[in-house]
Structure 1
Amino acid sequence: MATIPFTKGHGTGNDFVIVADPDGTAELTGEQIAAITDRRFGIGGDGLLRVVRSRAIDAGAATPDAEWFMDYRNADGSIAEMCGNGVRVFVKYLLTAGLATLAPGETLKIGTRAGTKSVTLADNGLEVDLGLWRPDESEVLVRGRGLPIARPGLGIDVGNPHIVVALPSADDLATLDLTVQPVLDPVPPAGANVEFVVPADPLVQDGVGAIRMRVFERGVGETLSCGTGVAASALAVRHWAGAGAPDQWIVDVPGGRLGVRVVRTDEGERVLLSGPASLVFSGEIALA
């Protein structure tokens, strides 16, 4: 039975199994990925990051401006477009393994299925430019266990799809049961991660907005954190707050705290996510 080396890492509790495959010769099946990320019979993780050079990726996902490509899979083995926490953990692995360097003021480009993402050093770890964002004004109703009534959600696209739902209080957020997948009506064509948010009191202090969030991820379930979901949640609350809302946000999730910045450009608004990334342990696992 073949074995492969791996490293386990996480970003604010959003955890990943990292498999190095620079030349793209060891692509894993969905069934193998689901077995590896199983928390009882495998290593355990919210997803798997395959470290592969962009030139070894199929042409449909190629990012020639980035040497390295993050082949991200959900815990059920399904393909995902992007993962904000995953990008930071991916870069942490590259730097630790000596596969890349990143000095203050420099930018490291990482290929993803949502395009090339630029990563820089930040005071709280690493910051990734998630790119342009856009709201979807079509209303989606969200039903969930612990919600007395269906609540409207705002669609936000930051390279992957999200539905953000505002809750009235911290108690509502705490008692929400996310062991059961929320029901979306209508269901977006590609599905969506679903975020539930509560504003801090006060919402804005010293020009910085603050919210709390929990998330149910496609193909995974509730996770301690979701990087793109954090960005989508901050953007949704900023959108609801209207003119004068800040461009800088702090988002608390069960796994820790992340930062979000909005930068205005000629192309539109870009959203940047910052936070820590950690590598926990390495080993080998047998493949079925």
Structure 2
Amino acid sequence: MDETLATAAEHAAVDTAGLSGLKFSKGHGTGNDFVLIADPNGALSVTPEQAAALCDRHRGIGGDGLIRAVPSRLLPEGAALLAAHPEAEWFMDYRNGDGSLSEMCGNGVRVFVHFLIAEGLADLPAGESLTIGTRAGVKTVVRTAAGYAVDMGPWEFIFPGEATARAMDSLVSADGLEVARPALSVSMGNPHTVVALAEIAELDATDLFRAPHVDPLPPHGTNVEFVVPSEPLVHDGVGTVTMRVHERGVGETLSCGTGACAAAVAIRHWAGQGAPDVWKVAVPGGVVGVKFFVAADGHEHVELSGPAVIVASGTLS
């Protein structure tokens, strides 16, 4: 068993009696699922071990991660954002399924806002926006007819170098692939390494139970996306790719929002001049939209769009 997954399994044995009576919800964005808890007074203290136990799919509620909704002013990371963004009332305190802290999650952002609305903690009519705090900075979320669209902020390459000269910066090995594949590492506020594969059969044959080996590994680890461009790549001005992902601290998930953005960044970069700014990324859990635009700060930002669903609510016994 992968060391990270083994650690998560050990954590899952931790008694969560200290959280007895805690109200929770379960939600997902294109199959990327989360346990969500509201903490409007900042009174909850959930340990990494307890988070892993809650996210365990056999002995807990089950989820790719745990999201705590807490006022930004009650967390050091949130309070630091309020000086420049006083409108960011709520902070998305996110942990991976193994209990480790993560900067943010693109699908999780949408589900987080949907949870705030469902809990009566925020009001967001269709077409209006809400600003929230994350460990990757503030994110602006617009409610749409089909779900939510999130300004994920600017993207950047993880390793230094001229973007115009960059093609690949690392090699990735994974079970099911006979040889290591070249890859490109992209930051969306959290780290990603993108590998292009030639065909769907190759994607299906890749075994993502164990974490792929990445060399060189980004400083804080990385999520790894395996992507197959469609043929043709562009239809009616929209690029289309199919993706699977191994998430850092989780394992393979049905979807990864920041990973979909990173995949679009890499394929668009490899496609060269004339590549579109609008993309559809098919993941095992559905389809998300990715759009590139120049924001008021002069930088190119990435917008992620897709659905968010709350499937259940309950109380820990």
- Give the counterpart of 2:56 among 28, 34, 38: 38
Partner of residue 43, structure 2: 25
Query: Could you list the per-position Cα deviations for residues 161-194 of structure 1 after superposition, in whole angstroms to 9, with x for gaps in the alignment?
Result: 0000000111000111011110011121100000
1:27 CA displacement: 2.1
Give yes or no for contact 1:62–1:111 (8 Å, CA) kept in 2: no
Task: Give the aligned residue type for 1:51.
Answer: A
Look up the equivalent residue of 1:283 and give its one-letter code: G
Which residue in 1 is equivalent to 2:259?
229
Q: Are 2:126 and 2:145, in contact at CA under 8 Å, matched by a contact in 1?
A: no
Match of 1:181? 211
1:195 maps to 225
- Cα contact 1:194–1:217 (8 A) shared by 2: yes
User: In 2 relative to 1, CA 191–61 (structure 1 residues): closer, same or farther, beyond 3 Å?
Assistant: farther
Q: What is the CA–CA distance in structure 1 between the aligned matches of 2:188 and 2:253, rounded to whole Å?
A: 18
How far apart, in 1, do the equivalents of 2:33 and 2:305 lie? 16
Question: 1:214-273: per-residue Cα shift (whole Å, max 9, x none)?
Answer: 000000000000000001001110010011000000000000000000002352210000
8 Å contact 1:103–1:121 — kept in the other structure?
yes
Residue 251 in structure 1 maps to residue 281 in structure 2: yes
Corresponding letter in the other structure for 1:96: A
Deviation for aligned residue 1:104:
3.3
| Cα distance in 2 between the residues matched to 1:202 and 1:40 | 42
How much has 1:61 moved relative to structure 2?
6.5
What TM-score does the superposition give when structure 2 sets the normalisation length?
Answer: 0.88
The yes-or-no answer on 1:110 pairing with 2:132 is yes
Q: Distance in 1 between matches of 2:95 and 2:294?
A: 31
Residue pair 2:72, 2:78 contacting (<8 A) in 1 also: no
Shift of 1:75: 0.5
Q: Which residue number in structure 2 is paired with residue 277 of structure 1?
A: 308
Q: Comparing both structures, which one devotes a greater share of its residues to helix? A: 2
Instruction: Give the Cα separation in 2 of the matches to 1:60 and 1:263.
Output: 26
Identity of counterpart residues, as a percentage? 58
Q: Which residue, 158, 164, 174 being the options, matches 1:144? A: 174
TM-score (normalised: structure 1): 0.96
Shift of 1:105: 3.4
Matched residue, 2:189? 159
State the alpha-carbon separation in 2 of the partners of residues 158 and 254 from structure 1.
21
Q: Distance in 2 between matches of 1:90 and 1:59?
A: 17
Q: Deviations over 1:90-111 (max 9, x none)?
A: 0001111111111233210010
**What is the 5 A alignment of 1:35-114?**
35-59=53-77, 62-64=80-82, 65=85, 66-114=88-136
Letter in 1 for 2:120: G
CA deviation map 1:102-139 (0-9, x unaligned): 12332100100000000002343100000011124571
AA in 2 matched with 1:32: Q
More strand by share: 1
In structure 2, runs of 5+ residues without a counterpart are 1-16, 159-165
1:16 paired residue among 28, 34, 55: 34
Counterparts of 1:45 and 1:172, CA distance in 2? 27
Q: Give the deviation of 1:276 after TM superposition.
A: 0.2
Q: Which runs of 5+ in 1 are unaligned?
A: none
Could you tell me how far apart the structure 2 residues matched to 1:157 and 1:229 are? Answer: 9
**RMSD of equivalent CA atoms:** 1.3
Letter in 2 for 1:201: E
